[in-house]
Amino acid sequence: MLKRIACKYITVLGIVLAIAVVHILRAGQYLEGRWHIYYYSFFSDMVLPFGMYFLLCLNEPQIPMLRRWTVKCGLVFGAAAIAETLQGFGIPCLGQTFDPMDYVMYAAGVLAAAVVDRQIFRRVLPFWEPNRSAES
């Protein structure tokens, strides 16, 4: 059981570190034209909710309601949407620029994480879901 938990923590740490490294290295500076604009407009809006979803996955054993992918999606999207809405009212919260398209990117990022969680990790990584009977 401990080995499963450690493997899951390492996997999530890898995801979060990869997201951090891409931001630290400013990968967008190597892109040109439209790709440069798309990267700086939307990349973080997709990958940060992706990483946040997996951070919630680490808490599934302690918080049973987080075992449902819909709950994790709702919490992550809700937090991001609240921050974006505050930006729309001129209140800086995790950013300063309001863009309605950001809501779409938050949804895309969190849904991509749910697909990776439910369709890839649970099929490929034997340690990912230690208690299959607890999930619906």
CB contact at 8 A, 14 and 77: no
Q: Answer whether residue 46 is part of any domain.
A: yes
Q: Is residue 92 part of a domain?
A: yes
Within a domain: 99: yes
Total of domains in the chain: 1
Running DSSP on this structure, what letter comes out for residue 5?
H
pTM for this entry: 0.88
Higher pLDDT, 129 or 25: 25
Range of the domain at 54: 2-130
Whether residue 135 lies inside any domain: the answer is: no
Q: 85-127: per-residue pLDDT in tens?
A: 999 999 998 888 899 999 999 999 999 999 999 999 999 999 9
- Over the stretch 6-64, which tens digit does the pLDDT of each residue have? 999 999 999 999 999 999 998 888 899 999 888 988 999 999 999 999 999 999 989 99
Residue 136 included in any domain: no
24 belongs to a structural domain = yes
Question: Which residues have a Cβ under 8 Å from the Cβ of 21 and sit 6 or more positions away?
Answer: none
Query: Tell me, what's the pLDDT at 130?
Result: 61
Closest CA to 53 of 37, 66, 36, 40: 66
**Do residues 80 and 44 make contact, with C-beta atoms less than 8 angstroms apart?**
no
